[in-house]
């Protein structure tokens, strides 16, 4: 499984970072950085929560 | 001893219901899960309706969410009409009775209206947003009644669509929600972009020969081609009549784990949960999500599940400004500037007497965890 970021949609709320701090973070400019794109089973729940919490649906799992 | 949990019914397919369903699965519930949604649409992002969706070109995708992964049976375009707590059944408007072991009440709220006039537009659901966009395409003159965040976002969207817009507000727009400093910042930006603001004590709508117009407290009439009201929301809890679950204000009181009673969770805009200021409805995106996560875990794990710990996150986009705030609102007085300066992009903080604070980022991209830390730091 992979996390995909649709960067033009991202508004930098950072709610995803709060849901999945081990998988992504906003950098000093407020731009989202995916620290890991390939997601194993152990991180699937966290990744799903990060996707769900985004109010502009800038993230998806594929 | 509690019954085994085989069947859970989630009534409501907004972000609260959707998150509850996701969380139930995440917490290990693998039984029969049903989600009821009264709109035919898939779950969508409500905050987007009054922001990006009003400004979208023909793309119209700003509100779309990633498809659900909870694997529930989704009954969409169906309305719940009753709850039988003794027989543990949800009644639907197509006559179906759905049995449950646990139920999640997440039917949200609807726009409060000022009249029955068909000319009174409101913006609450996706169909409302599409209808509003269609009307705005004709560039009507617009009067928006309601100076809260939603009314101001709608006014901003209408202005950006090329309409002449008047906003009717009880007092200074946003002052009750954000406090004088931030309200001043937004009102200045709104006036610079051409918004006309009319302050009034009260306003009512009147239908005259098929035209809807706004009558202010001193009798002044404001006429426009399109009247939109944004004057608050009312919980959708009529279907709970007879259960004693909804209070006189329509809200369902819940405990710190989102439970109204054993086996019955209530989450999202209809739920009043314990806060330091007493039981409150906090109808915001992140509030709905945190409530839903907490309550769904409590339905599966009971007392072992952690109670809700939550600091509201609020954001708005209007008149070229983006505000993100964590902590109590409204805020009094002038802020301390942690970054930036008055009149430009800034990270601001207000200190409260109890050591807590409110942090707000204006036109300034900042991770929420940092914003939360800034709200907590001593100023």
Domain boundaries, chain A: 3-61
pLDDT value of position B368: 83
Distant-in-sequence, close-in-space partners of B230: CB < 8 Å, separation ≥ 6:
B111, B122, B123, B144, B145, B146, B148, B150, B151, B154
What contacts B181, CB < 8 A, 6 or more positions away?
B331, B333, B334, B335
Select from A29, A55, A57, A59 the residue whose CB has the most chain B CBs within 10 Å, as the one to mutate to test that interface: A55
Contact (CB, 8 A) for B6 and B36: no
Regarding the domain delimited by B7-110+233-304, which CATH topology (the fold level of the hierarchy) does it fall under? FAD/NAD(P)-binding domain (3.50.50)
CATH of domain A3-61: 3.30.70.20
Interface probe for A, chosen from B365, B369, B370, B373 (most Cβ of A below 10 Å), is B365
Cβ within 8 Å, pair A55-B52: no
Identical topology for domains B7-110+233-304 and B113-229: yes
Chain B CB contacts of A53 below 8 Å: 286, 289
- Kindly report whether the peptide bond that precedes residue B293 is cis, defined as omega within 30 degrees of 0: no
Chain mean pLDDT for chain B: 94
- As a whole number of angstroms, the distance between CA B42 and CA B76 comes to 8
Q: How many residues in total does chain A contain?
A: 62
Interatomic CA distance for residues B367 and B85, integer angstroms: 43
| Domain residue spans of chain B | 7-110+233-304, 113-229, 320-375
Q: What is the pLDDT of residues B252-293, one digit of tens each?
A: 999 999 999 999 999 999 999 999 889 999 999 999 999 999
**What ipTM was estimated for this complex?**
0.88
Q: Record the pTM.
A: 0.94
Dihedral through CA B291, CA B230, CA B365, CA A37, nearest 10?
50
Average confidence (pLDDT) over B211-234: 95
CATH numeric code, B113-229: 3.50.50.60
Chain B residues within 8 angstroms (CB to CB) of chain A: 18-19, 22, 26, 45, 47-48, 52, 62, 64-66, 69, 285-286, 289, 313, 315, 322, 324, 364-371
Instruction: Give the pairing of strands B73-76 and B32-37.
Output: parallel
Q: What is the pLDDT of residues B297-342, one digit of tens each?
A: 999 998 899 999 888 899 999 999 999 999 999 999 999 999 999 9
CA B32, CA A10: separation in Å to the nearest integer? 35
In contact, B314 and B325? CB cutoff 8 Å: yes
Find, in chain B, the residue whose alpha carbon is nearest to that of A18: B369
């Amino acid at each position: 499984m992979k996390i995909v970021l649709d960067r033009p949609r991202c508004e930098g709320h950072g709610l995803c970072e709060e849901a999945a701090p081990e998988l992504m973070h906003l950098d000093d400019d407020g731009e989202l950085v995916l620290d890991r794109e390939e997601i194993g089973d152990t991180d699937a729940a966290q990744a799903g929560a990060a996707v769900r919490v985004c109010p502009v649906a800038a993230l998806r799992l594929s | 001893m509690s019954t085994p949990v085989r069947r859970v019914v989630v009534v409501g397919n907004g972000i609260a219901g959707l998150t509850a369903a996701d969380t139930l699965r995440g917490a290990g519930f693998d039984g029969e899960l049903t989600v009821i949604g009264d709109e035919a649409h898939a779950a969508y992002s409500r905050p987007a309706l009054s922001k990006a969706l009003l400004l979208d070109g023909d793309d119209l995708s700003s509100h779309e969410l990633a498809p659900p992964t909870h694997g529930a049976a989704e009954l969409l375009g169906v309305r719940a009409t009753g709850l039988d707590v003794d027989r543990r059944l949800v009644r639907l408007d197509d006559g179906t009775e759905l049995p449950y072991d646990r139920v999640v009440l997440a039917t949200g709220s609807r726009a409060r209206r000022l009249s029955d006039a068909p000319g009174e537009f409101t913006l609450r659901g996706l169909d409302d947003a599409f209808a509003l966009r269609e009307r705005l395409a004709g560039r009507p003159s617009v009067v928006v009644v309601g100076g809260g965040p939603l009314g101001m976002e709608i006014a901003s969207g209408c202005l950006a669509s090329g309409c002449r817009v008047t906003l009717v507000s009880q007092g200074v727009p946003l002052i009750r929600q954000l406090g004088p400093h931030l309200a001043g910042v937004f009102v200045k930006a709104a006036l610079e972009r051409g918004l006309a603001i009319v302050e009034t004590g009260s306003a009512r709508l009147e239908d005259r020969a098929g035209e809807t117009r706004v009558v202010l407290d001193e009798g002044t009439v404001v006429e426009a081609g399109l009247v939109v009201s944004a004057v608050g929301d009312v919980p959708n809890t009529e279907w709970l009549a007879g259960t004693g679950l909804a209070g006189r204000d329509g809200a369902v009181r819940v405990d710190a784990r989102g439970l109204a009673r054993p086996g019955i969770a209530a989450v999202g805009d209809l739920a009043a949960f314990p806060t330091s200021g007493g039981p409150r409805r906090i109808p915001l995106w992140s509030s709905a999500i945190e409530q839903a996560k907490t309550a769904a875990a409590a339905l599966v794990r009971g007392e072992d599940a952690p109670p809700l710990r939550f600091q509201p996150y609020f954001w708005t986009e209007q008149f070229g400004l983006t505000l993100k705030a964590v902590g109590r609102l409204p805020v009094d007085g002038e802020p301390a500037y942690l970054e930036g300066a008055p009149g430009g992009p800034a990270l601001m903080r207000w200190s409260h007497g109890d050591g807590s604070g409110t942090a707000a980022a204006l036109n300034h991209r900042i991770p929420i965890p940092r914003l939360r830390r800034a709200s907590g730091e001593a100023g």
